[in-house]
Amino acid sequence: MTEPAPLNGFGPLISFILSISALRDWAKLLIIGSFFETCRRLLATVWSSTIDSFFLTASFEDHDDSYKWMMIWLSKQPSWKNVRNVNISTGERYSGNVPDSEGESDTSGMPKVCYLPALSGSYTLWYKYRWMRITRVSEPIPGWGPNHRDSLNISIFTRNHDILNTILQDAKKAYQDAQGSSITVYISDSANCWRELATRRKRPLDSIILDPGIRELVVEDAQDFLASKKWYAERGIPFRRGYLLYGAPGSGKTSLIHSIAGELELDVYIISLSRSGLDDTGLSELISDLPERCIALMEDIDAALHNSLSREDTPTPPNQTAEFIPSSPRTPTHTTSKVSLSGLLNALDGIGAQEGRILFATTNKYSSLDPALCRPGRMDLHVEFKLASRYQADELFKRFYLPSSPKTPADDDQEPKSNPAQSHLNGSICDGGSTDLIDLGVPDDVADSPPSSPSACSEKSERAALTYTGTRHRGHAPKLSSDQLSALAAQFASAIPEREVSMAALQGYLMSQKSRPSEAAREVSAWLQKELATKKAQNETKS
């Protein structure tokens, strides 16, 4: 059998193509063009690499704290005053980055104006004899949640990383100075990312009035934990700490957490177990993404996911009645959250749980929590918050009527001016207890006219009492000596029964008597009778 002849038909085809002059010219242009384009790209790459070798470039994403550092730091640079293209913002996120004009403090209550780098704009400035170029860009992102992501790119003409470290240190210090006496609160979005919610002023520890030893117990324990990282590492113990604050509503649980966050200079990350769409995986992601030093807060865990957080209905302990620790009125009947008890337990102390964080959980119904959730390692310290004692009532009264700081001209400008009609209403024509009611539904011409007779005043006061329960407290409380204040506080506290009303209720009553300490001590018994009667009626309705 003879072998087939090899295919040799390509030679004539190529010869035919090359014989066409037009195609021959196009081939030359293609080869020459490809050569020059390759050279151009090569030279551009070499040039870019050469230039980049003299520049240090850093990028900052808006979801990271360093982005806020840099934004505030940029606004404080002297050359920033000459920038011609800026974005204006009145949000609280960068409220510390623009000083008030002429160094005056803003007492009008209007939002502060912030100057931010404009999007897609480039700025140049000098920092310690280094030339810098700053660019802020915004990129759209698909999906739910925020529809864009901002980033800040900074290029520095240097080959030394020390200058970048110096900038970051200065930026962090500028941010801390701008924050001053405030903490930052974060929440999670639908994409399971932490987003800044607001900044809140720090609350002094001495403003939290609890039974002796409770405040010191929690604060000192948290301080010792933060200082014991090496001790935990040497013994192979996970560096985590959990606190369960339980007890009656309005007893100061959340207020204590707020105060501790300010004392320890920690930001607060609120974990809402009842958030729509949150599941076990999302919860684990949120907890694993927590920073090393922070406070994670789970409020009312007895109300959130009530069905999944308890395996069975546990009877109330004998020493705790339903009145002592009432169930939360916010308990949902249906929930869209998909977090299970096992998912919560694994998120708190699983292999992916963040270390260094402090977890605070609050509940009004301690007995409904599963023992697995309350065990050490998850909730290490359980602290009970009871209803108000006489000691707390005494201390609250003293703090409420402490002499205020000296008035400033700005305070005088802000204080509303009184008119003759208000003087009549606050005078001796009507009874002092009822004249402080404000009927906002009365027309201005009637409210501003003085009563013509005691009967008319009585009728108007009765109508206001039927419609409104708030009392007016304009003005300042009289200055009391320490002996007078102590005597009134003792009188006030003696009328308060032990563990019958909450501190929130007492504070609400004192707010209604803001400028009348003597009346507050004298009339508390009448208020207390109404408060206890209302509470009894509510309990009977529930039962």
The closest alpha carbon to 381, from 212, 244, 215, belongs to 244
Q: Where a domain ends, among 154, 179, 204?
A: 179
Percent of the chain with pLDDT over 90: 45
pLDDT value at 101 more than 60: no
- Over range 87-97, report the average pLDDT: 63
Is residue 185, in this structure, part of any structural domain at all? no
Q: Tokens in use for 397? A: 């009264």
Predicted confidence at residue 144, as pLDDT, reads 53
DSSP class of residue 63 equals: T
Predicted confidence at residue 432, as pLDDT, reads 37
Q: State whether 362 and 248 are in the same domain.
A: yes
3-state secondary structure of 186: strand
The count of domains in the chain is 3
Mutual angle of helices 253-264 and 214-226, in 10-degree steps:
40
* DSSP percent split of the chain into helix, strand, coil, nearest 5: 45, 15, 40
Torsion sign over Cα 510, 513, 518, 522: negative
Q: State whether 162 and 202 are in the same domain.
A: no
Structural domain harbouring 231: 194-386
The CATH number given to whatever domain includes residue 236 is 3.40.50.300
Q: State whether 217 and 272 are in the same domain.
A: yes
pLDDT in tens, 211-230: 999 999 999 999 999 999 99
Q: Are residues 58 and 153 in contact, defined by beta-carbon separation less than 8 angstroms?
A: yes
Predicted confidence at residue 235, as pLDDT, reads 94
- Over range 498-519, report the average pLDDT: 93
- Over range 334-344, report the average pLDDT: 77
Q: Are residues 117 and 134 in contact, defined by beta-carbon separation less than 8 angstroms?
A: yes
Is residue 16, in this structure, part of any structural domain at all? no
Is residue 49, in this structure, part of any structural domain at all? no
Q: State whether 238 and 355 are in the same domain.
A: yes
Is residue 134, in this structure, part of any structural domain at all? yes
- Distances, alpha carbon 353 to alpha carbons 126, 242, 356, 372, in Å: 43, 13, 10, 17
Is residue 175, in this structure, part of any structural domain at all? yes
pLDDT in tens, 229-260: 999 999 999 999 999 999 999 999 999 999 99
Q: State whether 367 and 475 are in the same domain.
A: no
pLDDT value at 315 more than 50: no
Q: State whether 172 and 209 are in the same domain.
A: no
Alpha carbon 211 to its chain's center: 27
Mutual angle of helices 341-349 and 280-288, in 10-degree steps:
20
DSSP class of residue 295 equals: E
Q: State whether 367 and 257 are in the same domain.
A: yes
- The residue behind tokens 């620790």 is 325
Q: State whether 218 and 350 are in the same domain.
A: yes
pLDDT value at 533 more than 90: yes
Q: Where a domain ends, among 122, 145, 179?
A: 179
Q: Tokens in use for 275? A: 């958030």
Is residue 326, in this structure, part of any structural domain at all? yes
Q: State whether 382 and 366 are in the same domain.
A: yes
Q: State whether 343 and 433 are in the same domain.
A: no
Contacts of 268 (CB under 8 A, 6+ apart): 183, 184, 185, 186, 257, 258, 261, 294, 295, 297
Q: State whether 440 and 336 are in the same domain.
A: no
Q: State whether 363 and 215 are in the same domain.
A: yes
